[in-house]
Amino acid sequence: MSKPETPPTMYAVHSGDRLKLLMERTGTGEAITSRELAEAAGVAHGTIGGLMSGAQRVVPEPKAKAIAAALGVDLLVLWVPMERSGRVFIPQQVAV
């Protein structure tokens, strides 16, 4: 009998503004467009656009890690894990 798969941890973006700021100056010091970020992270361009606009707040862990890596930043600079003490936690949208 196989063990049931546990769903990946979901991550909420700190804010669309923080994502935009990190795109203006990535870990290499270069700017990256939303299309370039989507391609580098292997996610849909609509995902990046949704995160920037606030229409989408949450992605699964693999996507969060890929986006952070493509920006050259630590995962927790941009993302907050949603599960804390068994409760769902989504940060408020705040300007950076």
Q: Is the separation of the CB atoms in 12 and 79 below 8 Å?
A: yes
Mean pLDDT by 10 residues, the chain (96 residues): 75 94 89 97 97 94 97 95 59 49
Sheet holding 10-13, edge to edge: 58-60, 10-13, 79-81
75-19-6 Cα angle (round to 5): 40
pTM: 0.81
Q: Which two tokens stand for residue 74?
A: 């630590």
